[in-house]
Amino acid sequence: MADDTTTLYYAGEMASLGALQTTCNTDEMNLEKNLQSLDTVLDSGKKVTEAVYKATDPDTLGALTIEKFSEEKKDTAAFQGKAYILTQPVDVLVFR
């Protein structure tokens, strides 16, 4: 069975959550896969945000909103993750 996931790595110097949101929405459209997770990892010693995309519902591509984590909104989020913004780890919520 073919692997239906794609993993991309975004530079830890990403300028803002808005820039990350735009990047992820663009990549969803280009890959025709939905973002499934965000996590902070080291790649050859450099801080990067790991984004995993998976083939799921094509009707929801490119409709992400990424916000800083808040306890009040966590139950309505598609998932919780972590991302590097200006090389600092930030807990995020992703909405669809």
Angle at 18 between CA 41 and CA 84, to 5 degrees: 15
- 92, amino acid identity: V
Instruction: Reply yes or no on whether the pLDDT at 14 is more than 90.
Output: yes
- According to the model, what pLDDT value does residue 18 have? 98
Record the pTM. Answer: 0.92
Q: 88 pLDDT exceeds 50?
A: yes
pLDDT digits over 17-36, tens only?
999 999 999 999 999 999 99
Strands 34-43 and 46-54: what pairing?
A: antiparallel
Give the pLDDT mean for 48-60: 90
The CA-CA-CA angle for residues 2, 61, 13, to 5°, reads 90
8 Å CB contact between 67 and 92: yes
Domain ranges of the chain: 5-95
